[in-house]
């Protein structure tokens, strides 16, 4: 293994922080451009794309720098999950701070959630009961946990494919082409 790479910052941690930071930066840019951060499918798509690219690059760098170009499917998947966990945790802390510090965002989140419930269930007693439960129980911590879980779940589906693409095992042993040599 490369000894100089062992002294540097671990690629999985580095890319976990980079991906989490890119999640936060994309959220800030959406906010600065006047688009809402609350239940925005475009922001979720951007975050999913950042997950794919960040995990691919992070696993590849880990494989090439730390493992001499060889990595199993399980180790690649595990490295990608570590990247996702770190990125999702970082973004969840940001989400918690954002929703805790901005009560208007929390009210917008509740309003949009209520609107979605109304579209799905109509003006029924179930809708009224669910709206009441949401209003009483929805907190910034719950929103942050939802973001964490969503980032991990979406990223995990992509990791199944990314780990298969990036896995690279040991080369096969050399084939003996000399029929008189029976040493192998």
Q: What is the CA radius of gyration of the chain?
A: 23
Angle between helices 73-101 and 11-32 (to 10 degrees): 40
User: H-helix or E-strand containing 82?
Assistant: helix 73-101
State residue 117's pLDDT score: 87
Q: What is the DSSP letter of 175?
A: P
CA angle 65, 66, 69 (to 5 degrees): 65
Distances 85 to 1, 2, 51, 113, 134 between C-alpha atoms, Å: 26, 26, 11, 26, 27
User: What three-state secondary structure class fits 138?
Assistant: coil
Extract the tokens encoding 139: 């907190």
User: What three-state secondary structure class fits 168?
Assistant: strand
The residues pairing with 168 across neighbouring beta strands, listed in sequence order, are: 71
Taking 70 as the pLDDT cut, the residues of the chain under it are 1-8, 170-172, 176-184
Residues with Cβ within 8 Å of residue 73, at least 6 apart in sequence: 163, 164, 167
Contact by Cβ (8 Å): 13, 54: no
State residue 38's pLDDT score: 87
State residue 182's pLDDT score: 60
State residue 163's pLDDT score: 94
User: What three-state secondary structure class fits 174?
Assistant: coil
Residues with Cβ within 8 Å of residue 15, at least 6 apart in sequence: 54, 55, 57, 58, 61, 83
Distance CA 180, CA 5 (A): 44
Distance CA 89, CA 2 (A): 30
Contact by Cβ (8 Å): 26, 50: yes
Location of structure tokens 């880990």 = 62
């Amino acid at each position: 293994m490369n000894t100089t790479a062992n002294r540097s910052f671990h690629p999985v941690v580095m890319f976990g922080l980079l991906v989490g930071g890119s999640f936060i930066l994309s959220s800030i840019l959406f906010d600065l451009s006047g688009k809402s951060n609350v239940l925005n499918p475009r922001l979720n798509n951007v975050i999913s794309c950042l997950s794919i690219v960040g995990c691919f690059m992070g696993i590849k760098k880990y494989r090439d720098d730390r493992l001499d170009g060889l990595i199993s499917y399980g180790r690649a998947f595990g490295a990608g999950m570590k990247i996702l966990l770190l990125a999702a945790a970082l973004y969840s802390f940001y989400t918690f701070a954002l929703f805790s510090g901005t009560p208007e965002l929390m009210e917008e989140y509740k309003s949009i959630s209520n609107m979605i419930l109304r579209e799905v269930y109509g003006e029924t007693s179930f809708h009224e009961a669910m709206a009441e439960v949401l209003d009483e129980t929805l907190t910034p911590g719950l929103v942050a946990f939802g973001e964490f879980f969503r980032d991990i779940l979406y990223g995990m589906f992509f990791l199944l494919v990314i780990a298969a693409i990036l896995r690279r095992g040991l080369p096969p042993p050399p084939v003996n082409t000399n029929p008189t040599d029976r040493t192998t």
